[in-house]
Amino acid sequence: MSNLVLTTFDWVPPPPRGFVRDLRIRWALEEAGLPYRVASVPFQNRGADHFAHQPFGQVPWLTDGDITVFESGAILLHLGELSARLMPTDPKGRAVVQEWVFAALASVEAASQPWSFFQFMDDAGETPMRKFFDDFLYKHRLPQMEKVLAGREWLAGAFSIADILMADVLRLVDRFGGLADYPACTAYVARATARTAFKKAYADQMAHFAAGDAAR
């Protein structure tokens, strides 16, 4: 019986499906071949137990026996300790993976997430705020990632949790056409999402929320 339990919402509206962050964790679990099960919490009414595991009332979180971890990056680092398919065991290799884990979240997603809110809201207004976030992504993050990814297949040598995060972050930009001028980033996302583990994770998330539709 698996000790790993991944918790996500029972249902979400259609727009974020395929992009809810439990997908990052499903993807890693599938890459590693670790047994796990998925549990659900209500999207609509988030209870005290939910906030006890995730203080912002968000998903995902993972329990591993009596260990409970929230934040997708922290969960992936936890899983990285369980499988060399997710994180190398040598100190130098681990350091490279760890720096890119934080770069994906704190440098690239920090720019792509606010940018994506404008896209989700279909806000194409020429406001100073909109220009700030366009510049943040298009001038200060994507050109730099393009150079990095033009020179390597994966961020830290072999595929790792750093690629799960970076590819998932860039995948959302790609959804809105934001990678059109960045062929190396586009090819990287295509390479990552062609992996069997990603396809399984994606299909499982879509099926999970479809089951949520049926239960409503």
Ligand X SMILES: N[C@@H](CCC(=O)N[C@@H](CS)C(=O)NCC(=O)O)C(=O)O
Q: Which is nearer to ligand X, 20 or 32 (CB)?
A: 20
CB 25 within 8 A of CB 76: yes
59 lies in the site for ligand X, by CB under 6 A: yes
Distance, CA of 91 to CA of 10 (rounded, Å): 39
Which stretch of DSSP H or E encloses residue 51?
Answer: helix 48-53
CA 83 to each of CA 1, 149, 166: distance values in angstroms, whole numbers, following the listed order: 18, 24, 19
10 lies in the site for ligand X, by CB under 6 A: no
112 lies in the site for ligand X, by CB under 6 A: no
**How many residues make contact with ligand X (CB under 6 A)?**
7
Query: Minimum distance from CB of 128 to ligand X (Å)?
Result: 25
Q: Which residues have CB under 8 Å from 41's CB, separation 6+?
A: 7, 8, 9, 10, 47, 49, 50, 59
Distance, CA of 63 to CA of 29 (rounded, Å): 13
Query: Minimum distance from CB of 183 to ligand X (Å)?
Result: 27
Q: Which of 71, 134, 146, 204 binds ligand X (CB under 6 A)?
A: 71
Q: Tell me which residues in 136-175 interact with ligand X (CB under 6 A).
A: none
Looking at residue 170, its amino acid is L
Q: Which of 21, 53, 171, 208 binds ligand X (CB under 6 A)?
A: 21
Distance, CA of 205 to CA of 93 (rounded, Å): 31
Q: Name the one range near ligand X by CB under 6 A: 52-60, 91-99, 131-139, 191-199.
A: 52-60
Q: Which of 58, 63, 68, 83 binds ligand X (CB under 6 A)?
A: 58
201 lies in the site for ligand X, by CB under 6 A: no
72 lies in the site for ligand X, by CB under 6 A: yes
Q: Which is nearer to ligand X, 7 or 160 (CB)?
A: 7
CA 119 to each of CA 13, 130, 136, 185, 195: distance values in angstroms, whole numbers, following the listed order: 16, 10, 15, 19, 27
User: Rule CB under 6 A: which residues touch ligand X?
Assistant: 20-21, 57-59, 71-72
